[in-house]
Amino acid sequence: MLHERLDAPGFLGLTRALAANAPDSDRSGSFPERNFDILRSGGHVALPPIAASDIGTLLQLLAAVGRGDLSTGRIFEGHCNAMLLIEACGTPEQRTDARTATAQGKVFGVWNTDMPGNPLLLEDGHLVGAKNFASGVDGLATAIVTVSTPGGRQMLAVPLDDVSVDRSWWRPMGMHASGSHIVDFGRREVPPSWILGDPDVYIAQPWFSGGAIRFAAVQLGGMHAILDVAVNHLTRIRREGDPYQSHRIARMGIAVETGYAWLDRAAATWQEAAEAKTPTSSERLVSTANAFRTVVETEALRVLELAERSVGAGGFIAPHPLERLVRDLRTYLRQPNPDGALAALGQAIVAGRWAPG
**Span 5-24, pLDDT tens digits:** 434 446 999 999 999 999 99
What is the per-residue pLDDT for 10? 66
Q: What are phi and psi of 127, to 5 degrees?
A: -80, 130
What is the per-residue pLDDT for 4? 43
Domain positions in the chain: 8-103, 108-196, 207-350
* 108-196, CATH topology level: Butyryl-CoA Dehydrogenase, subunit A; domain 2 (2.40.110)
Domain 8-103 has CATH 1.10.540.10: yes
Q: For the chain, 357 residues long, give each residue's pLDDT as a single digit of tens.
A: 344 443 444 699 999 999 999 999 999 999 999 999 999 999 999 999 999 999 999 999 999 999 999 999 999 999 999 999 999 999 999 999 999 999 999 999 999 999 999 999 999 999 999 999 999 999 999 999 999 999 999 999 999 998 999 999 999 999 999 999 999 999 999 999 999 999 999 999 999 999 999 999 999 999 999 999 999 999 999 998 999 999 999 999 999 999 999 999 999 999 999 998 788 999 999 999 999 999 999 999 999 999 999 999 999 999 999 999 999 999 999 999 999 999 999 999 999 999 998
What distances in angstroms separate CA 95 from CA 51, 91, 98, 156, 302, one per listed residue? 14, 6, 5, 14, 42
What is the per-residue pLDDT for 30? 96
Burial class (CB in 10 A: 0-12, 13-18, 19+), 212: buried
Domain 207-350 top-level CATH class: mainly alpha
Among the listed residues 198, 183, 170, the one whose alpha carbon sits nearest the alpha carbon of residue 140: 183
Taken as a whole, the chain contains a residue count of 357
